[in-house]
Amino acid sequence: MIKSVDIKKYLIAISELNRLEILQFLKKGEKCACEIHPKLKLPQNLSSHHLKVLKDLGLLKSRREGTKIIYSRNEEAIWHYQSALTQKII
């Protein structure tokens, strides 16, 4: 069960436009971090910050492929947050 404090962190994370755009971009499949920051038109360090926030919350998964870090959505975690949010409101 997801706690209210976790739902608050989730809402704060996805309310930031760049993080929401990352989640939307990754709907099409996994991407290298090197593909994400140009898409967002952000410096690499700022996109890395947003990726870390989403990963720390469990919304993203990552794996290393050589020197690249590949990110994908954690659909199960996203589903749990959305379900918990719906249950809290209704």
- Long-range contacts of residues 41-45, Cβ cutoff 8 Å, at least 24 apart: 42/18
For 55, the token pair is 């990963």
The pLDDT, as a whole number, for residue 88 is 59
Nearest to 7 by CA among 72, 65, 61, 82: 82
The pLDDT, as a whole number, for residue 1 is 65
Question: What pLDDT, in 10s, does the model give residues 9-18?
Answer: 999 999 999 9
The pLDDT, as a whole number, for residue 6 is 86
The helix/strand/coil state of 21 is helix
Question: What pLDDT, in 10s, does the model give residues 29-87?
Answer: 999 999 999 999 999 999 999 999 999 999 999 999 999 999 999 999 999 998 888 87
- The domains found in the chain, sorted by start residue, are 4-85 (1.10.10.10)
- pTM equals 0.88
